[in-house]
Structure 1
């Protein structure tokens, strides 16, 4: 069981640091974070998106002690952890964190040399099927829920936010399975977009959604002029022409096709003007 030291000041930390390297758990208040950042004199460029990501997790109560530490040199300089400290000041939350003190300044050169664990890695550790695809879909569903229908917003979801989406919508696992199966049969639309569209369409009409994705995969028994045939022809043509299509364009095609099917309309040719709004599925 860890014990948080509250309150803790720079003077307390400096006194302990002289004894050499040590690790402890400290409740870092917004005030202490601000004071520590005054000693952040030699570090990488700040990434505002990372600060926003961390701050959202802190505000949501999703931040947990995971062994990653704020690292301070023997002279008190911040060697690692500036993004977490900025996030504490942004969120205005007091957060319990490991702090390693008393490190030689030159050790900073060896920090953060590993690869960050992705959301897909986390879902794989949880033994989720189709973990990479499932992670990609949850990120795009999160974006859609934030009003970002082009999946190009400034903010991207944290792993905790993706897990929260999956917890709220366990049916996303089925969407990932259908996306993988459809992609294997018709490899011209990204799985991430297929899964996101399946999630949205399934919430409207599960039976018609199941039929829609079966016919998207195999194109079987569809009459001339059917919207799904227009979709299959359009994306196949653009992919064969080596056109690099953005995800929002795929999404617009899928929604326009779905809406035409729902309306019972024929669709000889599928179009979507670049930069135009992504329609609502209905």
Structure 2
């Protein structure tokens, strides 16, 4: 569609757009016309492919673009994702764009997950989006690094997860902000730890757990809550090392303390420290009856 602007002259040849169902074969054909695109981000391709397979693909203005010479100048990640997912999707295909626009493609600020949550009216969106992302990583790749290409989580998936369980995520963020004042861990790590333990514990038990962590009052020396409160004192800090404890380690320590509190008879000598090289992420122990 061409929109005429008063007082301006239309160019001799306008770009043309149309909606096409791009199959894996068509995607391969389009990619054969690729000569100037950026280096492929495998993680982004995988994330887009997984979104397609989950049925989360949506038709937007972002599609595939060719210049006047028929060279692909935008959309290579979407095309590779279609091939990897082996699933056709509808998208806009633009033809006849100016040959000199490639340097200005995708130079705007990317929409963050916190931006995506803006429409929900939720508070503390940056913390909320980080919490949701790491809860999803805990469920998807608990024993792999939570950084790099494999750890990419799409904004759509974060928004969908929030809409499915918004009350518990909101509560986790609130607890994370408050409880992190008393612990070594970040607000995000505490929120994630709280969220995943709420799935296996009745509210009354969680209240006892949280109140003990907040006050530390009248806790026995062997109480796991006291041990968790004292992690900073027991964690050696090398003045020459500026490496921060990673999110997986922080969440793991929180869960280890939880498990030792739920099943003190199995805790043995509790050691709250970073995950070992081959150590797996602990899973929260379920509270099956009133303690």
CA distance in 1, matches of 2:51, 2:33: 25
CA distance in 2, matches of 1:217, 1:240: 24
Q: Which residue of 1 aligns with 2:17?
A: 23
Q: CA deviation at 1:236?
A: 4.8
Report if aligned partners of 1:226, 1:268 keep a CA contact under 8 Å in 2.
Answer: no
> Which structure 2 segments of 5+ residues have no match?
1-11, 286-291
Which one of 163, 182, 188 corresponds to residue 186 of structure 1? 182
Aligned length: 264
Matched, 1:70 2:71: no
Q: Which residue of 2 aligns with 1:34?
A: 28
Q: CA deviation at 1:125?
A: 3.2
Instruction: Please state whether the residue corresponding to 1:274 is helix, strand or coil.
Output: coil
Change (3 A) 1:274 1:49: same
Q: Which residue of 2 aligns with 1:245?
A: 245
Q: Any idea what the Cα deviations from partners look like across 1:132-188, whole Å, max 9, x if unmatched? A: 1121121122122224245526242212222232233332221122112212x3263
Matched, 1:209 2:203: no
Change (3 A) 1:180 1:151: farther
Instruction: Please state whether the residue corresponding to 1:204 is helix, strand or coil.
Output: coil
Q: Which residue of 2 aligns with 1:143?
A: 137
CA distance in 1, matches of 2:108, 2:18: 23
Q: Which residue of 2 aligns with 1:257?
A: 257
State the superposition RMSD in angstroms.
2.4
* Structure in which a larger fraction of residues adopt helix: 1
Change (3 A) 1:126 1:169: closer
**Structure-1-length-normalised TM-score:** 0.84
CA distance in 2, matches of 1:100, 1:214: 59
Mean Cα deviation higher: 22-31 or 134-143 = 22-31
Q: Which residue of 2 aligns with 1:4?
A: none
CA distance in 1, matches of 2:144, 2:123: 26
> Which structure 1 segments of 5+ residues have no match?
1-17
Q: CA deviation at 1:39?
A: 0.6
CA distance in 1, matches of 2:70, 2:132: 40
Q: CA deviation at 1:198?
A: 0.8
Matched, 1:93 2:87: yes
Q: Which residue of 2 aligns with 1:274?
A: 276
Which one of 128, 151, 162 corresponds to residue 134 of structure 1? 128
Q: CA deviation at 1:267?
A: 7.7
**Structure-2-length-normalised TM-score:** 0.82
Q: Any idea what the Cα deviations from partners look like across 1:197-248, whole Å, max 9, x if unmatched? A: 1112111113222322232233233232321121121135538656621222
Q: CA deviation at 1:79?
A: 0.7
